[in-house]
Structure 1
């Protein structure tokens, strides 16, 4: 029993923990680890004072947070400057970044001259750092629902996403880029639990047999596909969404919420009053997204193990004996 390993899991990525990780990433004087046992951040120099002496145990309990170098910060400032629509502000920010020594201070001084632009920078920086942390979290453990943001924080996220993504309707057969995302989703499910693997079969069945030819897409600024949903008109008032997906690096940011919001409003303009959304396996947690809006359960799929049924349920043949 003494050698039995204690199972550790990532804690829920609350807003407080997210902010702590971002703060620690930007601390260039120290390096931090996430303590999976106590769910706090620990500096590298503090590890030697802990009671644990088992190196293997320590490696499992403490995981390094994402690395964030000055070059990463510079790249982020460059990204923001290039996205500023006003040519005067854009050129001034880029000039500050190209001025040589002290570029960080010059960039911040330039921003401080325009409070609105400065607030947008802080929102952009926080959002990009959040993406890094969320992506890192997903690499550590396959977690579907990561953040429980307040309404105010969700509005901030969606405001930023509106600047980063465009939405469009596509009619016609499945395109290569949609198929690539579906295959990626299926591959992800196939490497998960038994329920995930069964869900992958169900999703592929939709794609192969239902002849999906209506899609609603979200595209990143570079034009690449970031998220999609397929839909089918079932009646003059009813639409079904049997399949959807979000690219890995954009998950946990509220993109599907924004995609569905845009889609729902468009459907309403065409007088469709109801939408049926199919949730499979790992996406069952998304019920929470729709619950506040009066979503109702109209169908449910269950997985029944034949061996369990046959061994515990009386044989129907015995009814004739």
Structure 2
């Protein structure tokens, strides 16, 4: 088991949100080092010449979070928006087809809210990354709980 400091939480958060890859292309973490890497056919071909693969190294696949979690983040963020016009505009953006794209378009037109969104989003993803490490037994539950208690 490693310590939280051995992991790049930003890289892990990015991997947890990456919905643009197929089943044969994915991110994984090396439990011996905490390194997060991408696996693909090309990497597999190179790795075969070096004599290792993800499974041989005990790698743990990082599957992306479900999209409903991202949608829930947008809902939670919107509920905290103070300006009623902004809140209404953002609410309408996610009540449409392609809510993620429409939310992104709407939030970029509200500069004050955009900065708050990034702060909110980064904090939510940091919590998910810590929970993922804990759930995959890469860090101790005690260290995870301490880190989660100090997260915004």
TM-score bracket relative to the smaller structure: 0.7 to 0.9
Instruction: Please show how residues 171-186 of structure 1 align to structure 2 within 5 Å.
Output: none
The alpha-carbon deviation at position 111 of structure 1 amounts to 1.2
Equivalences for residues 1-321 of structure 1 within 5 A: 9-10=1-2, 12-14=3-5, 17-30=8-21, 31-45=26-40, 46-47=43-44, 49-50=46-47, 51-52=51-52, 55=55, 57-58=56-57, 61-100=58-97, 102-141=98-137, 142-145=140-143, 251-255=146-150
User: Is contact 1:66-1:133 (8 Å) kept?
Assistant: no
- Distance in 2 separating the partners of 1:88 and 1:25: 32
Aligned in 2, Cα 1:127/1:53: closer, same or farther, shift over 3 Å?
A: closer
Contact 1:32–1:44, Cα closer than 8 Å, also in 2: yes
The structure with the largest alpha-carbon Rg is: 1
What displacement does 1:63 show? 1.0
Task: In structure 1, list runs of 5 or more residues that go unmatched.
Answer: 1-8, 147-247, 259-321
Maintained 8 Å contact 2:28/2:60: yes
Measured at CA, do residues 53 and 77 of structure 1 come closer, stay the same or move farther in structure 2, by a change above 3 Å? closer
The runs of 5 or more residues in structure 2 that have no matched partner are none
The normalised TM-score by structure 1 is: 0.39
Would the alpha carbon gap of residues 38 and 97 (structure 1) be closer, same or farther in structure 2, given more than 3 Å must change?
same
Does 133-142 or 89-98 show the bigger shift? 133-142
Larger proportion of helix: 2
What is the rounded CA distance, in whole Å, between the counterparts of 1:252 and 1:22 in structure 2? 15
CA–CA distance in structure 2, aligned partners of residues 54 and 103 of structure 1: 35
Following the alignment from structure 1 to structure 2, what is the Cα–Cα distance between the partners of residues 140 and 54? 16
Higher relative contact order (CA 8 A, sep 6+): 2
Alignment RMSD (CA, Å): 2.9
2:28·2:39 contact (CA, 8 Å) conserved in 1?
A: yes
Q: 1:66–1:136: 8 Å Cα contact kept in structure 2?
A: no
Structure with the largest fraction of strand = 1
Deviations 1:264-299 (A, max 9, x none): xxxxxxxxxxxxxxxxxxxxxxxxxxxxxxxxxxxx
- The Cα shift of 1:71 comes to 3.0
| TM-score, structure 2 normalization | 0.75
